[in-house]
Each structure stands twice: as structure tokens, then as C-alpha cells.
Amino acid sequence: MAPQLAELIAALPETDAAAPAAVHAGLPDLLSRSSQRPIPIGRFQRLSALGTLQAKIGAAYLFHWLRGWFKSADENKRLLAEAHWKTAVRVLDSMSYLRGAVMKIGQTLANFPDIAPREFIETLDRLHFDAPPMHWSLLREMVHNELGDDPENLFESFEKQAFAAASLGQVHRARLKTGEEVAVKIQYPGIARAIESDFRNLFLFMMPARLSRDWENTKDQLEDLQRRLAQEADYVLEADNQRKARALFRDEDGIVVPRVFPQYSTSRILTMERLEGTHLREYVARNPSQAERNEVALKLLTSWYRMMYAGRMHYIDMHPGNYLVLEDGRLGLLDFGFIISLEGEEWELFRKVDRPLTTGRREDRIAVLKEWNEIRDDETDRLRLIDEFGAWCWMARYRGGVYGFDDEAEFRHGIDLFTEMLRKRYSRGRPNTPAMARGHFAWRALMYLLKAKVDIRSLAEREVKATGWDRSDYAPSP
Amino acid sequence: MRITAAEKQATRGRIVDSARELFRTRGFDATTTRDIARAAGIAAGTLFNYFDSKEAVVVTLAAEGLARARAEFTDRDAGGSLEEDLFALISAELRQIKPLRKFIAPVLETALSPLACADRAGNHEALRVDHLELVAEIARRHDLAEIPPMALEAYWALYTGVLAFWASDKSSKQEDTLALLDQSINMFAGWLNSAAGTPR
């Protein structure tokens, strides 16, 4: 069993101290039964019983949502959901090559601090950095295949042990012959096509489910995951995104995107400048001052807005593991594996969002949200909820002034709204909507993690200028 | 006129070298035994004193490559896990016989396949024995006792299966073969270890 998954299983709570004793009494039995039978999730049961890999991918992803649904259910149901989670993790453990996919789901969950238990999130964070490596012989062959020579000939030095797990692969420290310290990200052989084919089969297997009410939503979520994995498997695309993002920042921004070394990069290997620093969660654990945390928060948001407005790139992976606070105070951005490119129709829609973001007027917000999420006039509850979530996401910006992101009750309110949206399956809309919703939730989660108190309106006003939009009828005069 | 053993050896070498070059430049199918003989500077019929067929020349080329790979593996400081060492051995072999990949099928059929070896009468037995001896040696190095004959049979079926997959692997740079090899070896090593009672 892969150690990181063993840790994951160990970290899942066996019991919940807050749960009634009666529930506890039945739990061991429940766990043992649930580990022996197929994962009981309705129509997926048949798929799981077939023991197909594709069913397991689907199950893994659905469990991620399931957790959200059960969070506000009663204790009994929640414990049942946890037992199912446990089973799912065990099932997934049998599929070593899906490690990447499992980790991705883990990272997504780690963005939802209060949906998953704290211990669970901390384990997932470790999972992100401690995954065991492909052995050296396999790695050597991958490097030889991709770059035409063995790592010991190509590089001045190359560490045999991976120092981080990456999407669908792992990362090694190395030094180029020209002296640069680099991080070399290497993908598992064949994993991209294996996952692609699993998804094809999954959709085939799910044909009978197409008639059901939930199909569209389930399909959206799976397509979201599929799109994400396909993008992340393409290191050429990632290198392009990274180069594009790097060009957006100047020295005075104090934000650094690692340089890519194209002569040592292919679709399966990505070699980039190595940044040394402290990951965000570790940084927070060192109790930096409010001013220091604010500084990091401002850089983090500047990077997000800069990519969005000047780069037309929506950076979705706002996971604490993707940010490094460097010794000199600069902020390092890692992992450009999942970027939504804002082009054409999407950019036009995005432009329209600027109005409610700026005015804060409800009618402006409603108009945009209806269009973006394709909400019909008779979907009053959906509109209400999405509007409330929109207001929660954007409030800090349209209100202006210093905003305290440290308010637990307010943050919890956002989680409740987000969870309710998931539970009611309101996240459908345009193909990218689930990912966008995650991105919006994620930046608030990071601000809360930093307990930041910052003025994001003035920062955003500065960044939005790069678009050249005519905002004269709603924006404040400069 | 008597031909000395040294001359025979030299002629054989010329045939093999010519065949390697012709296969590389023209491809296996477009190369005839007549072409090989001409390039080696011998009469067409003379070639058959050395090799039964064009396929037999490929077997010899493969055998040379495999021997080079084993030597390279033995010279290298292995020192990895059982899985890693086995992977290193086979991947070194694949690298050496890569130029033959597109026409390796005859080698598989006549020399390597478990079916071809069933009677153990051919001249190709050495190919199999040499490889398996090294595998047994690797297992001993990892404190595993003698591998039972049935386990070696199973290993050979896996090994030739990976080679057959590789021969027709259409994935980019045959990366799927690497994944298959990795998983096959994990399976075999896991089995050996559990049979030997080694905790995993």
C-alpha cells in the first residue's frame, strides 16, 4: 500500500467525539460491512460491482461531492458517508497509476477547510508533498525517452529521490550543466492516455444514467475532472501557460513565476527554475505578523488579478501548496497545470462581471449571474442562492476599504452557501462553471488562512486597467 | 580450398553488419538475403552456410544486443530494489534492441516465445537461459532463494509478453511499454516476495 494512502486512511476519523454514543456503537460493524460490499452509491453500485477502473474514478469524484452533501445532514448520515469515503480510498489504493487523479481530488478537498475534517486536510496537504517516487530505473528510462539521454549525462546533478509529488507525476531536484538549480517534473508513462480511455469507458458505462434527473450535473462534474486531468497531463501546455504568466510580472511586483527550460522540457517532462521558500500553510504556522500576512495576501491577489486581467488566464489551483514565500519576501507561484483561458465569449462574459464587481448593485449582479449560469426565470431558489454566493465572493471588492478576511462567521457563511449550492446541484452552467466556482471559493479560503486585512478594491482597480475596457458609466473615476 | 575458423567468423560478422545496416536503411521487408550477401561480398548461396533465413540474422542481431545489455547491466552498480534491478535489466535490453523493434516479431516467434521454446531443441535456447540466469542471480542478490522452475516459466511468459507488446506499441516513444513493464515487474516481484515470506 502506498504510504500516502495509508496515512490518508489512518487520518480519517474512526469516530466523531461529537456524535451520539449510539452511532459510535454501530460504527465498527458498519465500517467492516462497508469495506466488504461494493460502494453503495445507488446506480453506481452496479458499476462498482463490476470492479471497473472507470467506475472507481467516478466513485472517487462523486465521494468528493457526497461529503459536501452529508456535511449538513444529521450525524448518522455523515458517519455513513465517512465510512463510504474510507471504502472508496481503499478501492482507489488498488490503482497505483491513478495516484495523480486521487491526489488532485485530495487537493481540491483541501481547499474546503470546513467541509472535510481538519486532520483530513492536513493529511492531504502532506500527501501533496510526500508521495513516494517512481523508482530510479523507470525515471531514467523516461528521461532517456523524452530528452534523448540519461539524467546523469544531461544534468550536472540529479537527485534520485523525488522531493515532491506533482500532478500525474513527481518532481526531482537537479542542477543544469550551466549551473541553474532546477526542478524537473516527470510524468508517469502512459498515464494521460490511460485516464482518457477510462473516461471514455466511464461515459459509455453510464449511458443508462442519462435519463435520470441528476445526469446533467454528474456529467458536468465528470467532464470538469476530465478536462482538468487532460490539461494537467499536457506539460507543453503547462510550460506555455507558465511562460505567459512569467512575462506578466516585473521585479517590483515581488512575484515570481519560475522560468521554464524548454530544451529540457517535453510533453512529459517539465524543467523549471527551482524556488526555495516556505509553503503557505507552513508560513502561517510560524505566526507571521498581521503586516507580513497582509503583504503576502496582497501579492497573492495581485498575482491572481494580473493573470486574470492582463493575462486572461484564470488560475484555478489556488491551493496553499502552490504558493511559496521566498526568503527575500517575494511570492513564488507554482503549478500552471490548470488554467482556464478567458477568450472569446468567455472573456466577454468576464467583462460583464466587472460591472457588479465594481458597483455592488444587486440588479447588476443578478443580470450577470443569470447569463453566466444560464439561470431561467422560474429558478428563483437557484438565483437567490447563487446571488448570495456571488455577493459573498465579491463583497470585499465592491465595498472597498480594508476588509477583514479573518471573520470566521462570515467565512463559514460562504462555506454554507457553497455547500448548499453543491447539495442542490446548482453549480451547473457553462462548461467551466464548476472550476470557476472552485476558484472563487479558493481565494477566499486562502485569505481566511492568512487572516488577511487588506483593501482589495484599490488593488483590483489598478489591475483591471490592463484590460483597456471602457468602464466610464460605472467605475469610479481614477 | 579450406576456410579457417577465423575466416568463417569474419564472414559471419560481415553478414551481420551488412544486415544491420540494410535493415536500418531499407527496412526489414525490403531487404533480401541476396542484398545482404552482396553487401557482405559473398555469393548469394554462401549466406545460407551461415544463416537459414533473413529471420535467423535478426535473431543473431537481437542476441548480440541482449548480450550487450546484460553486460552493461552487470557492469553498472545496480543496488536498487528487486523491482528496480529487474526493470533496469529489461529496459537496458530494450534500449539495445530498439533498432530491431519493427522487425523483432520473427525473433519472438522463433526464438523467444514460450511456444517456440516448448521443445527446447532450437539453437536459441541460450537466449532464454542467459536471461533467466541473470534474473535468478538478481533474485539471489536480493536474498531470495532459488526461483522455482514454475515461477521462471511464469516470468518468461511475462517477459516475452512485454516484448510482444513493445514490438507493436503505438504510444509516443513506447511509453506504454514502460508502464506495462513497471506493473508486470511489480506483480512478479510481489509474488516472489510473498512466496518467500518476505514482508512487503
Q: What is the DSSP string of A356-403?
A: HHHH--HHHHHHHHHHHHT--TT-HHHHHHHHHHHHHHHHHHHH-S-E
User: Could you give the angle at the alpha carbon of A88 between the alpha carbons of A87 and A91, nearest 5°?
Assistant: 90
- Please report how the helices B82-96 and B54-75 are oriented relative to each other, as an axis angle in degrees rounded to 10: 140
Considering chain B, tell me which residue range(s) the CATH 1.10.357.10 domain(s) occupy: 53-196
Chain A residues near residue B169 by CB distance under 8 angstroms = none
Q: Are B155 and B132 in contact (CB under 8 A)?
A: yes
Q: What is the mean pLDDT of residues B147-170?
A: 88
Q: Are A319 and A337 in contact (CB under 8 A)?
A: no
The shortest C-alpha distance from A135 to chain B (Å) reads: 6
Test the B interface: residue of A141, A144, A147, A197 with most B CBs within 10 Å: A141
Predicted local distance difference test score (pLDDT) of residue A188: 83
Four-CA torsion A296, A302, A303, A308, nearest 10 degrees: 150
Are A137 and B171 in contact (CB < 8 Å)?
no
Q: Measured between alpha carbons, how far is B113 from A36 in angstroms, rounded to an integer?
A: 40
Q: What is the mean pLDDT of residues B6-21?
A: 92
The shortest C-alpha distance from A98 to chain B (Å) reads: 12
Are B175 and A138 in contact (CB < 8 Å)?
no
The shortest C-alpha distance from A266 to chain B (Å) reads: 12
Predicted local distance difference test score (pLDDT) of residue A97: 35
Predicted local distance difference test score (pLDDT) of residue B28: 86
Chain B residues near residue A141 by CB distance under 8 angstroms = 87, 91, 178
CA-derived radius of gyration, chain A: 23
Q: Does A191 touch chain B (CB under 8 A)?
A: yes
pLDDT tens readout for residues A134-174 = 889 999 999 999 999 999 999 999 999 888 777 678 899 99
The shortest C-alpha distance from A141 to chain B (Å) reads: 7
The shortest C-alpha distance from B189 to chain A (Å) reads: 14
Between B122 and A362, where is the model more confident?
A362
Q: Does A267 touch chain B (CB under 8 A)?
A: yes
Q: Show the low-confidence residues of chain A (pLDDT under 50).
A: 1-72, 84, 87-132
**Residue B48: which of B24, B12, B13, B18 has the closest Cα?**
B12
Q: Are A181 and A112 in contact (CB under 8 A)?
A: no
Q: Measured between alpha carbons, how far is A83 from A446 in angstroms, rounded to an integer?
A: 29
Residue A36: CB atoms within 10 A of its CB come to 8
Are B87 and A137 in contact (CB < 8 Å)?
yes
Q: Measured between alpha carbons, how far is A164 from A131 in angstroms, rounded to an integer?
A: 7
Predicted local distance difference test score (pLDDT) of residue A112: 45
Closest in A136, A189, A194 to B84, CB measured: A136
A vs B: CB pairs below 8 A: 53
Chain B residues near residue A135 by CB distance under 8 angstroms = 80-81, 83-84, 87
Residue A299: exposure state from Cβ atoms within 10 A (0-12, 13-18, ≥19): buried
Distances (CA, A) of A293 to A145, A212, A464: 44, 48, 24
Beta-strand relationship, A331-333 and A255-256:
parallel
Four-CA torsion A26, A28, A34, A35, nearest 10 degrees: 180
Q: Measured between alpha carbons, how far is A429 from A372 in angstroms, rounded to an integer?
A: 7
Are B175 and A145 in contact (CB < 8 Å)?
yes
Are A142 and B178 in contact (CB < 8 Å)?
yes
The reported pTM is: 0.76
Q: What is the mean pLDDT of residues B164-190?
A: 89
**Ramachandran angles phi, psi of A261, nearest 5°:** -105, 95
Residue A237: CB atoms within 10 A of its CB come to 17
Q: Does A135 touch chain B (CB under 8 A)?
A: yes
CATH label, B1-51, candidates 3.30.360.10, 3.30.43.10, 3.40.50.300, 1.10.10.60:
1.10.10.60
**Which letter, b or e, does each residue of A303-333 get, where b requires 16 or more Cβ atoms within 10 Å of its Cβ?**
bbbbbbbbbbbbbbbbbbbbbbbeeeebbbb
Q: What is the largest CA-CA distance in chain A?
A: 66
Q: Does A288 touch chain B (CB under 8 A)?
A: no
Share of chain A above pLDDT 70, in %: 62
Q: Measured between alpha carbons, how far is A382 from B49 in angstroms, rounded to an integer?
A: 85
Predicted local distance difference test score (pLDDT) of residue B32: 93
Asked: is B53-196 a CATH 1.10.357.10 domain? The reply is yes
Amino acid, single-letter form, for residue A423: R
Amino acid, single-letter form, for residue A298: L
The shortest C-alpha distance from A418 to chain B (Å) reads: 39
Considering chain B, tell me which residue range(s) the CATH 1.10.10.60 domain(s) occupy: 1-51
Compare all CA atoms of chain B with the CA of A140 and give the residue at the minimum distance.
B88
The shortest C-alpha distance from B111 to chain A (Å) reads: 26
Four-CA torsion A65, A68, A71, A76, nearest 10 degrees: -10
**Residue A453: which of A347, A330, A294 has the closest Cα?**
A294
Predicted local distance difference test score (pLDDT) of residue A60: 43
Q: Does A142 touch chain B (CB under 8 A)?
A: yes
User: Which long-range CB contacts under 8 A does A168-177 form with residues at least 24 apart?
Assistant: A168/A100, A168/A101, A168/A192, A168/A195, A168/A229, A168/A232, A168/A233, A169/A100, A169/A134, A169/A268, A170/A131, A170/A133, A170/A134, A172/A133, A172/A139, A173/A274, A174/A271, A176/A261, A176/A264
Predicted local distance difference test score (pLDDT) of residue A121: 40
Q: Measured between alpha carbons, how far is B19 from B62 in angstroms, rounded to an integer?
A: 12
Q: What is the mean pLDDT of residues B66-71?
A: 93
Predicted local distance difference test score (pLDDT) of residue B76: 80
Predicted local distance difference test score (pLDDT) of residue A328: 94
**Which stretches of A256-310 are DSSP H helices?**
280-285, 290-305
Are B80 and A135 in contact (CB < 8 Å)?
yes
Q: Measured between alpha carbons, how far is A125 from B150 in angstroms, rounded to an integer?
A: 45
**Residue A105: which of A167, A164, A170 has the closest Cα?**
A167
Chain B positions touching chain A (beta carbons under 8 Å): 80-81, 83-85, 87-88, 91, 95, 171-176, 178-179, 182-183, 186
